[in-house]
Structure formats: C-alpha cells, structure tokens
C-alpha cells in the first residue's frame, strides 16, 4: 500500500479514492465494485479502513491513525451542523 495514498486519504478520503480509481491505483481489496462505489460516496473513511485491514492488518499504526480520525470526524460533524442550525433559528 502506497504511503501517499495513506497520507492523502487521511485528510481527503473521497478525493483520494476517486483519483486512485481513475489512475488505476486502488489497493487490493475484497469489496465488490458496487460496494466500492457506494462506500466511496457515502462512507469513504470506512472504505479506506477496509483497504488498510486487507493490506496491512489491524496491527498497522496507519489503521489506528485512520480509525481515530474517522471517529473524530464523525463525532464532531454532528456537533458542528447542530450549532450551525441553532444559529439560524
């Protein structure tokens, strides 16, 4: 698995996945194409975690870094949108 993919997908997972798809650099995985497409659109961080587990395993520090980033983004996303909604009303 390429280090550039791991670093870029940490900050821009959806763009990184789309770029890798069009340049034929998607990491090896066991996910069918429809799963790749749907997860890229709706849950790109989960797809990156699946790629990391398939290629590097759960012992890799990249897995834990991406897992912490995914949890932080998903937990903070709801608070931000809730505060933004409260300001308008």
10-residue mean pLDDT series, the chain (89 residues): 91 94 91 94 95 94 96 80 62
pLDDT of amino acid 36: 93
Q: How many domains does the chain have?
A: 1
Spatial contact of 40 and 47, defined as CB atoms under 8 Å apart: yes
| CA dihedral sign of residues 49, 23, 18, 76 | positive
Q: Show the domain range for 54.
A: 3-88
Annotate 46-88 with DSSP letters as a single string.
Answer: HHHHHHHHHHT-TTSHHHHHHHHHHHHHHHHHHHHHHHHHHHH
- CA-to-CA separations, 67 to 42, 45, 49, 73, 82, in angstroms, rounded: 17, 8, 7, 10, 23
């Amino acid at each position: 698995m390429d280090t550039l993919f791991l670093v870029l997908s940490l900050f821009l997972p959806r763009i990184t996945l789309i770029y890798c798809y069009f340049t034929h650099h998607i990491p090896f995985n066991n996910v069918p194409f429809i799963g790749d497409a749907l997860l890229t659109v709706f849950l790109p961080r989960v797809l990156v975690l699946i790629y990391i587990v398939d290629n590097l395993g759960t012992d890799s520090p990249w897995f834990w870094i991406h897992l912490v980033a995914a949890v932080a983004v998903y937990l903070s996303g709801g608070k931000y949108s809730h505060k933004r909604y409260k300001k308008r009303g």
